[in-house]
Structure 1
Amino acid sequence: MENMYLFVLMCIFFIILPGPDTAIATKNTVTVGKAGGVNTVLGTCCALLIHTTAAVFGLSAIIMKSALVFSVFKYVGAVYLMYLGIKTLWSLRKKEDEAGVELNTKSQFGNTSCFKQGFLTNLLNPKVAVLFLTFLPQFVDPGSSTFLPFLIMGITYTAMTAMWSFTYVYLINRISTFMKKPKTQNIIEGLTGTILIGFGIRLFLEKAHD
């Protein structure tokens, strides 16, 4: 491996840049609570480990080089993001009438749903696979094996993502008194739904070889 310190620095910039993962973690922390945010982050990290495995074994290269595979991956991810966005916006219409039922549902199924949302949002984003395949090779010695360096860098990236995301969830939860006011929640969910739909549309229009 080359320039490990530079790799870590670049990871920090990539990780703190807001994206769909941040939007989902914010929404689930505010609506479900700290446990919801933590489970969302765990889902995201599990997906990152799968992306790491794919990069190590060359599967990301197939996604990047095959227009058909990339397109299928991209459209499924885009549809899922738009689905989450629309679902979030739609829930605002029913929240007042179903407040009690919704609370019970969240207490029973919220954590599982949050994990799944974090996992699928990251896993179905082909840009993460492309990022791994274009970013990681920059820090590998030319001509050397990529297996161990990709594995180390992928695990490092996942660990840094977990540390940042858990800290973010903790901070959001700390200001929960303000964040969990009904009016504030409605604003956050409305913004999150709109942002997720926007990310979905952007991903839908993404070209295979930007």
Structure 2
Amino acid sequence: MENFYMFVIMCVLLILLPGPDTAIATKNTLSVGRTGGFQTMFGTCCALLIHTTAAVVGLSAIIVKSAIVFSIFKYVGAVYLVYLGVKTLWALRSRKITPEITTESKYEGKSCFKQGFLTNLLNPKVAVFFLTFLPQFVHSGSDTFIPFLTMGITYTLLTAVWFLFYIYLLNQISAFMKKPKTQRIMEGFTGTILIGFGVKLALEKAQH
């Protein structure tokens, strides 16, 4: 592996860019609470570890090179994101917004984990990222098993650190976030963003 520190810097910059994972974490933190945000983060990180394993054994290359497989992942992921966005907007419309966020139930926690996990796992762009970004930091012709594994775990850990900070920050300003008007605006915003990400993913073209 070469330029590991440059790899870490690039990962931090990429992780800070808002995406579907951030939108899901925001939605669940605001609607369920800090525990919901952490459940979402854990689901996202588990999916990243699966992407790492796929990259190590070469499965991601199949997704990237096969237009059919890529399209299947793309459209399933897009539909799921749109579903979450519509569900968020519908819940915003159908329920009464109370001054306090409701207490998380055991089912909500499982749902938050599932949403974080599926949002990341069903995004073929993550597979494309691993197969196009990671090789840039490996010596040509060298064995990629250990370098890919190290970089994948590093990216996952950096993602976890960022979400821990982000969720903690949201929780710290929870008094402001729990205001009915603020909650309504944020849930409407994140629901719209999720639909937007779903449409964008559906229009994504396979790379060969």
Scaled by the length of structure 1, what TM-score is found?
0.95
The Cα shift of 1:138 comes to 0.2
Does 1:115 find its partner at 2:129?
Answer: no
Gaps of 5+ in 1: none
| Equivalent AA in structure 2 for residue 124 of structure 1 | L
| Equivalent AA in structure 1 for residue 206 of structure 2 | A
Q: d(CA) in 1 for partners of 2:102 and 2:13?
A: 36
Q: Is the CA contact 1:31–1:180 (under 8 Å) kept in the aligned structure 2?
A: no
Does 1:69 find its partner at 2:69?
Answer: yes
Q: Deviations over 1:1-56 (max 9, x none)?
A: 00001000100111000000000101111110000000000000000000000000
RMSD of aligned residue pairs (Cα, Å) = 1.4
Name the counterpart of 1:170.
168
Q: d(CA) in 2 for partners of 1:200 and 1:149?
A: 32
Structure 1 runs (4+) deviating above 3 angstroms are: none
User: Percent of counterpart pairs with the same letter?
Assistant: 71
Q: d(CA) in 2 for partners of 1:185 and 1:20?
A: 19
Aligned residues: 206
Alignment of 1:97-112 (within 5 A): 103=102, 106-112=104-110
Q: Deviations over 1:126-170 (max 9, x none)?
A: 000000000000000111010010000000000000001111000
| Equivalent AA in structure 1 for residue 125 of structure 2 | K
Q: d(CA) in 1 for partners of 2:64 and 2:95?
A: 41
| Equivalent AA in structure 2 for residue 120 of structure 1 | L
Q: Is the CA contact 2:31–2:102 (under 8 Å) kept in the aligned structure 1?
A: no
The Cα shift of 1:71 comes to 0.3
Gaps of 5+ in 2: none
Name the counterpart of 2:146.
148
Q: Is the CA contact 1:81–1:200 (under 8 Å) kept in the aligned structure 2?
A: yes
Q: d(CA) in 2 for partners of 1:108 and 1:94?
A: 22
The Cα shift of 1:180 comes to 1.2
Q: d(CA) in 2 for partners of 1:175 and 1:107?
A: 22
| Equivalent AA in structure 2 for residue 70 of structure 1 | F
Name the counterpart of 1:127.
125
